[in-house]
Amino acid sequence: MKNDLTVFEQLESEVRSYCRSFPTIFTKAQGHKMWDVDGKEYLDFFSGAGALNYGHNDPNMKKKLIEYITDDGITHSLDMASTAKKDFLTKLNDVILKPRNLDYKVMFPGPTGTNTVESALKLARKVTGRTEVISFTNGFHGMTIGALSVTGNSFKRKGAGIPLHNTVTMPYDNYIDQTSDSLDYLERYLEDGGSGVEIPAAVILETVQGEGGLNTASPEWLKKLDSICKRWGIFLIIDDVQAGVGRTGTFFSFEPAGIKPDVVCLSKSIGGYGLPFAITLIKPEHDAWAPGEHNGTFRGNNMAFVTATEALNYWDDPNFEKSIQEKAEKITDFLEGLVKKYPEMDGYRKGRGIMQGISSNVEGFSEKVAALAFEQGLIMETAGADDEVFKLFPPINIDEDALQKGFEIIEEAVRSVAKENDLVTS
């Protein structure tokens, strides 16, 4: 039997997780489609948790990648100079940074999201000479001890096995209620020499909290936060690992707020093809690293340079952002409609861009929706502290038909769950 998960049960650690929600063996993928070993086709509304914004195995990137490998292009080069790296740096600057009037220096940490976050925290502490970092409720920044210390989730934090230090959690936008401004809290703490909260080296946040339940920070809130940071000489670090690279409708998620963070963390889709890759963007005046002060074996993943460079061609097209935004509106409309049509769900729409979902107050509702959808061939994740949100994360270049097909499967799943008799509002 080909689709037998026994090998994983026997040989892989209990820590494995997504294979439990999506219990089949995948073997092939293209664009928004995946196939398992039984040949069953799936519509991917998950996109590697944001690592596959351009879908699976994009043909242009694939071509470039095969050429590169065929020609014995350098695969691994630590942080030596390579043509693939040079091309990436140049393209990133030409297509993304310069047009947005950004002059960031590019750092290559280890090729994962948590590594770019760790590098950002270190740099902020070094430059400011301060130790504390402020993060926000329900933020998610990674699993290594530095990144975990700024992550809110208590299950993940307990995994550290040690108390996590040098961080303070402040309330994210609209955390307590819609009427009070959560930044008033932060400001009061900073201004009051008796608050017990030191002026920090940095604040770190996502503009949309991908793992934390699709909470969004408004442009006004971000602007105000930015001005607080400037006032106190605090690094503003935007972790755009999940919300960046077009996911919210612009390349960087913070563009609508008109701010220029001191440091930007990118990973996931910056590599284009789903290859491990991460970069840390640093304002030149903060680039105070000593050579090799933060390093790592795979910071020079040349295959990822190749696909990342090719991926940036999408952004040459001035209509690309618009097309994402149009799809985002369709998703918004679909979800708003769903909320109205199925009051049994007791839900509300969250998120923005192609990073939206529904939070249901009914216990287990969202998980059931995701499970039913999977049976019907759609892969979709839940998020939030109690998995109360189901989350639409299709590729940002998905076509209209596939999007509609996904909507249908989801609505059908919602309809089924809504019919159940024993719904309990939590």
> Per CB under 8 A, which of residues 141..170 are in contact with a copy of itself?
142-147, 149-157, 159-163, 165-169
- Judged by beta carbon, residue 226 or residue 388, the one nearer a copy of itself is 388
Quote the least distance from Cβ 365 to a copy of itself, whole Å.
18
Q: Report the site for a copy of itself in 71-90 (rule: CB under 8 A).
A: 71-83, 85-86, 89-90
Task: Decide if residue 69 touches a copy of itself (CB under 8 A).
Answer: yes
In angstroms, the CA 276 to CA 180 distance is 41
How are beta strands 215-216 and 381-383 bridged, if at all?
unpaired
- 378 is an interface residue for a copy of itself by CB under 8 A: no
Residues 119-138 that bind a copy of itself (CB under 8 A): 119, 121-122, 124-126, 131-132, 135, 137-138
**Given the DSSP bridges, would you call strands 356-360 and 33-36 parallel, antiparallel or unpaired?**
unpaired
10 Å Cβ neighbour count for 418? 21
Q: Which of 114, 207, 356, 382 binds a copy of itself (CB under 8 A)?
A: 114
Exactly one of 219, 256, 276, 377 binds a copy of itself (CB under 8 A); which one?
Answer: 276
Q: Which stretch binds a copy of itself (CB under 8 A): 55-63, 347-355, 394-402, 416-424?
A: 55-63
Residue 402: count of CB within 10 angstroms of its CB = 18
Does the protein bind a copy of itself through residue 55 (CB under 8 A)?
A: no
| Non-local CB neighbours of 381 within 8 Å, separated by 6+ positions | 21, 46, 49, 370, 390, 391, 393
* Token pair in block for residue 264: 């930007």
Going from the C-alpha of 82 to that of each of 65, 112, 312, the distances in angstroms are 15, 20, 19
Residues between 180 and 239 with contacts to a copy of itself, criterion CB under 8 A: 180, 184-185, 188-189, 192-198, 201, 212-213
Residue with tokens 């995946």, as numbered in its chain? 34
Nearer to a copy of itself, 256 or 276 (CB): 276
Taking each helix axis from N to C end, the angle separating 219-232 and 182-191, rounded to the nearest 10 degrees, works out to 10
The helix/strand/coil state of 212 is coil
Burial (0-12, 13-18, 19+ Cβ within 10 Å), 42: buried
Q: Tell me, residue by residue from 232 to 271, as one string, x for binding to a copy of itself by CB under 8 A and - for no binding.
A: ---------x-------------------------xx---
| Beta carbon nearer to a copy of itself, 224 or 418 | 224
Residues 384-413 that bind a copy of itself (CB under 8 A): 384-386
Does 425 sit near a copy of itself (CB under 8 A)? no
Instruction: Say whether residue 102 binds a copy of itself (CB under 8 A).
Output: no
Our finding on whether 426 is near a copy of itself (CB under 8 A) is: no
Comparison of 117 and 324: residue with beta carbon closer to a copy of itself:
117
Q: Check if the beta carbon of residue 283 is closer than 8 Å to that of residue 290.
A: no
Q: Which two tokens stand for residue 330?
A: 């369709």
> With contact defined as beta carbons under 8 Å apart, do 221 and 356 qualify?
no
Residue from 221, 250, 224, 225 nearest 237 by CA: 225
CA of residue 32 relative to chain centroid, distance: 18
Which residues, at least 6 apart from 224, have a Cβ–Cβ distance to it below 8 Å? Answer: 181, 183
Which of 43, 45, 53, 139 touches a copy of itself (CB under 8 A)? 139
Residues from 290 through 349 that contact a copy of itself (CB under 8 A): 290-298, 301, 303
Q: How far is the CB of 17 from a copy of itself (least distance, A)?
A: 4
Q: Which of residues 5-44 bind a copy of itself (CB under 8 A)?
A: 5, 7-8, 11-20, 22-30, 34, 37
Q: Does 1 bind a copy of itself (CB under 8 A)?
A: no
